[in-house]
């Protein structure tokens, strides 16, 4: 029996749910659940203990409520979000900040008291005709220093189902650890019309950093509602900065070396820059595709995947370029497809799956056929460009055996990749942790494409590929990354990659499969098995190494002409980048002075070489390290 203050829980919960909650013996959790039962007034409450029985109940309720639709393969379901609820809502995502706290220029915030009053108004009576779900998860492997426990309160069984696929079970962890400090995620889809959120104008994602709580209302899209995804990353970044570890928007992968030795690397790439395709590359292994926690242990860096699943963009996934992923998506098993097209034979179709477009089907707009337009006269594609799949990583043939290792995996290098048509070479190693963090990570940009925006070629500033998710001022975040590396005698090597460099005729200089070669060279450097050429911006491969790697890995001839074109140092473009990035940081407060020092030193090296050798310098002119 719970103490008198929690008698309301006994009254509101079924005897089974009350038993599950009582067993956790957690006053902070009791207070949270009690508060939102009173505020949301659900018709009933279901508490999940992560058992197969409870998980199956969640799956069946998602189908019964039409939040998911069964497809033709066993375990496959489709979910549709509203037509105007297809992506993360950056404008409606705000930090609840007391008046005396400043998060900096780039972070969207609202006065905490004002925001809480608004969001509680949206939650009030929001679940009167619905069933509330209370579910528990663990971010990071179980029984690990990486573990962060979390609770989700929602009225969406699709959300509860998605989180069961994506995250480790947390109920037993709550029972044993009885945490007072855990992440809290509260969600309501709000009023529904045709099974989707109706009041999109009341869509909000409000984040209380001090209480480790995220509130989301009047939305179903998983990027806004899966609290343990990017909202949890925001909470973790602040927590990590205070405790001396890192929470990063990074994949973790294993790269196979010689003698069956495998090394692990993290990578940060903005959207549409090759992050997922790198993490899932055939011949290597994947630990995680999206979010990593990094900690120092015995003078080495270890990383763990926050998730056990993948919530990935499905556009363009096809059997030729993504054979392992395509195979997993084509097999029976538990998969949620969101905002795809359901064809006449009840199978999922998405843009880029195959050349042939179906004659008709059902998608996020309703009944669909080629050429159909919306009320504004805009043609509706068969599937949304942000359509997604939700799967467990273990279904991939290249899933790494250490995904659930509580110690994580030792990280030998960190890779930063952007979409850059004219500046960065395909692969380059930084001289040091400091130079890498300041010039590569802090200087990361991504060019827009015509498919993404009206205007092509705009460079978006996105340090560490984490700009959208920062919960501390940018200067503090950079200092956290700098100090993290200084804790270690030999920190992981830092690299940049660029799959999108173009030649003088506007053609891409890299083939899609060439990324396998850059990874193999990165691995050789991590194992200290090859030398490099020293340029003003970093260390680049020698032609002889790449020639061997291309032949051995891809059975492909790599010409000296290709090498020179790809690795020629473009000094004017590099100088322009320095000026561009420096001007951004000069407008911000509390940026570490070492950032400006590193850019100034790099600028000096570039100008000195420019005076000697001209604007464009062949790799043949650079000395061996």
pLDDT digits (tens, 9 = 90+) for 403-436: 999 999 999 999 999 999 999 999 999 999 999 9
Read off the pLDDT of each residue in 61-65 and give the average, rounded to a whole number.
98
Rounded Cα–Cα distance for residues 54 and 48 (Å): 6
Read off the pLDDT of each residue in 212-230 and give the average, rounded to a whole number.
94
At residue 101, the pLDDT reads 77
Domain covering 4-67+88-244: architecture = 3-Layer(aba) Sandwich (3.40)
Rounded Cα–Cα distance for residues 185 and 222 (Å): 13
430 burial (CB, 10 Å; 0-12 / 13-18 / 19+) is: buried
Quick: pLDDT tens for 87-113. 888 899 999 998 877 776 678 899 999
Read off the pLDDT of each residue in 246-264 and give the average, rounded to a whole number.
93
Residue 60: both structure tokens together: 């069946």
CB 165 within 8 A of CB 390: yes
How many helices (DSSP H) and strands (DSSP E) are in the chain?
A: 18, 35
At residue 9, the pLDDT reads 86
Rounded Cα–Cα distance for residues 213 and 234 (Å): 11
CB 26 within 8 A of CB 151: no
Read off the pLDDT of each residue in 296-317 and give the average, rounded to a whole number.
96
Residue 383: both structure tokens together: 């599937």
Three-state DSSP state, 74? coil
Domain covering 247-307+403-619: architecture = Alpha-Beta Complex (3.90)
Q: Does 451 have pLDDT greater than 50?
A: no
At residue 596, the pLDDT reads 98
Read off the pLDDT of each residue in 597-601 and give the average, rounded to a whole number.
98
Closest CA to 312 of 322, 303, 298, 300: 322
**In whole numbers, what is the pLDDT of the chain averaged over residues?**
94
Quick: pLDDT tens for 338-393. 999 999 999 999 999 999 999 999 999 999 999 999 989 999 999 999 999 999 99
C-alpha to C-alpha distances, 561 to 175, 365, 439, 499, 615, nearest whole angstrom: 63, 50, 28, 18, 19
Give the list of residues 6+ apart from residue 164 with CB closer than 8 angstroms, or none. 50, 55, 58, 135
Q: Does 606 have pLDDT greater than 90?
A: yes
Measured at the alpha carbon of residue 95, what is the angle toward residues 91 and 98, in degrees to the nearest 5?
Answer: 135
Quick: pLDDT tens for 457-492. 689 999 999 999 999 999 999 999 999 999 999 999
At residue 453, the pLDDT reads 40
Read off the pLDDT of each residue in 12-39 and give the average, rounded to a whole number.
94
Q: Does 3 have pLDDT greater than 60?
A: no
CB 123 within 8 A of CB 215: yes
Domain boundaries, the chain: 4-67+88-244, 247-307+403-619, 311-395
Query: Which pLDDT band holds residue 452 (cuts at 50, 70, 90)?
Result: very low
Q: Does 193 have pLDDT greater than 80?
A: yes
Read off the pLDDT of each residue in 160-180 and give the average, rounded to a whole number.
97
Question: Among all residues, which ones are annotated catalytic?
Answer: 273
Per DSSP, the residues of 206-224 read EEETTTTEEEEES---HHH
Rounded Cα–Cα distance for residues 214 and 212 (Å): 7
Task: Say whether domain 311-395 belongs to CATH 2.170.8.10.
Answer: yes
Q: Does 577 have pLDDT greater than 70?
A: yes
Is the pTM higher than 0.85? yes
Q: What are phi and psi of 598, to 5 degrees?
A: -65, -40
Rounded Cα–Cα distance for residues 67 and 197 (Å): 11
At residue 454, the pLDDT reads 43
Quick: pLDDT tens for 495-511. 999 999 999 989 999 99
């Amino acid at each position: 029996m719970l103490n008198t203050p929690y008698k309301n829980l006994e009254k509101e919960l079924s005897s089974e749910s009350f038993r599950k909650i009582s067993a956790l013996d957690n006053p902070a959790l009791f207070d949270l659940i009690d508060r939102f039962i009173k505020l949301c007034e659900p018709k009933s409450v279901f508490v999940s203990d992560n058992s197969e029985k409870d998980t199956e109940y969640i799956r069946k309720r998602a189908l019964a409520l039409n939040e998911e639709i069964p497809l033709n393969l066993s375990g496959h379901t489709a979910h549709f979000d509203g037509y105007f609820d297809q992506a993360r809502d950056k404008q409606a995502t705000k930090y609840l900040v007391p008046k005396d706290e400043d998060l900096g220029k780039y972070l969207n915030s609202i006065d905490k008291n004002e925001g809480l009053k608004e969001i509680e108004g949206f939650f009030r009576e929001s679940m009167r005709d619905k069933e509330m779900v209370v579910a528990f998860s663990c971010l990071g492997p179980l029984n690990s220093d990486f573990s962060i426990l979390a609770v989700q309160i929602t009225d969406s069984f699709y959300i509860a189902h998605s989180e069961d696929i994506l995250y480790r079970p947390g109920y037993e962890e709550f029972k044993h650890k009885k945490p007072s400090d855990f992440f809290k995620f509260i969600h309501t889809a709000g009023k529904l019309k045709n099974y989707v959120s109706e009041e999109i104008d009341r869509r909000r994602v409000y984040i209380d950093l001090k209480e480790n709580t995220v509130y989301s209302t009047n939305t179903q899209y998983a990027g806004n509602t899966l609290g343990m995804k990017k909202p949890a990353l925001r909470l973790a970044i602040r927590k990590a900065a205070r405790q001396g570890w890192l929470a990063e928007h990074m994949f973790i992968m294993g790269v196979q070396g010689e003698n069956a030795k495998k090394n692990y690397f993290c990578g940060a790439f903005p959207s549409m820059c090759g992050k997922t395709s790198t993490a899932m590359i055939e011949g290597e292994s994947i630990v995680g595709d999206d979010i990593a926690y990094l900690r120092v242990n015995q003078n080495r860096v270890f990383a763990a995947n926050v998730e056990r699943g993948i919530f990935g963009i499905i556009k363009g996934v096809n059997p030729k370029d993504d054979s392992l992923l395509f195979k997993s998506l084509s097999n029976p098993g538990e998969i949620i497809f969101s905002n795809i097209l359901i064809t006449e034979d009840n199978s999922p179709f998405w843009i880029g799956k195959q050349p042939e477009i179906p004659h008709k089907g059902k998608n996020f707009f309703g009944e669909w056929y080629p050429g159909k337009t919306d009320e504004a006269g805009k043609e509706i594609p068969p599937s949304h460009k942000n359509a997604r799949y939700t799967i467990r990583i273990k279904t991939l043939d290249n899933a790494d055996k250490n995904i659930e290792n509580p110690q994580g995996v030792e990280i030998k290098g960190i890779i930063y990749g952007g979409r850059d048509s004219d500046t960065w070479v395909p692969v380059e190693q930084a001289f040091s942790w400091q130079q890498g963090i300041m010039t590569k990570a802090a200087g990361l940009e991504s060019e827009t494409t015509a498919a993404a925006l009206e205007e092509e070629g705009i460079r978006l500033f996105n340090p560490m590929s984490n700009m959208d998710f920062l919960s501390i001022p940018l200067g503090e975040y950079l200092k956290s990354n700098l100090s993290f590396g200084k804790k270690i005698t030999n920190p992981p090597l830092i690299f940049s990659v660029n799959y999108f460099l173009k030649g003088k005729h506007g053609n891409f200089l890299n083939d899609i499969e060439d990324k396998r070669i850059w990874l193999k060279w990165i691995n050789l450097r991590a194992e200290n098995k090859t030398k490099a050429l020293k340029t003003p911006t970093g260390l680049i491969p020698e032609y002889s190494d790449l020639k061997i790697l291309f032949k051995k890995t891809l059975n492909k001839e790599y010409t000296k002409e290709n090498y020179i074109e790809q690795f020629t140092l473009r000094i004017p473009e590099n100088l322009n980048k320095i000026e561009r990035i420096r001007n951004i940081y000069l407008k911000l407060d509390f940026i570490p002075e070492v950032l400006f020092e590193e850019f100034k030193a790099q600028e000096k090296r570039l100008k000195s070489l420019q005076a000697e050798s001209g604007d464009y310098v062949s790799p043949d002119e650079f000395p061996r390290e």
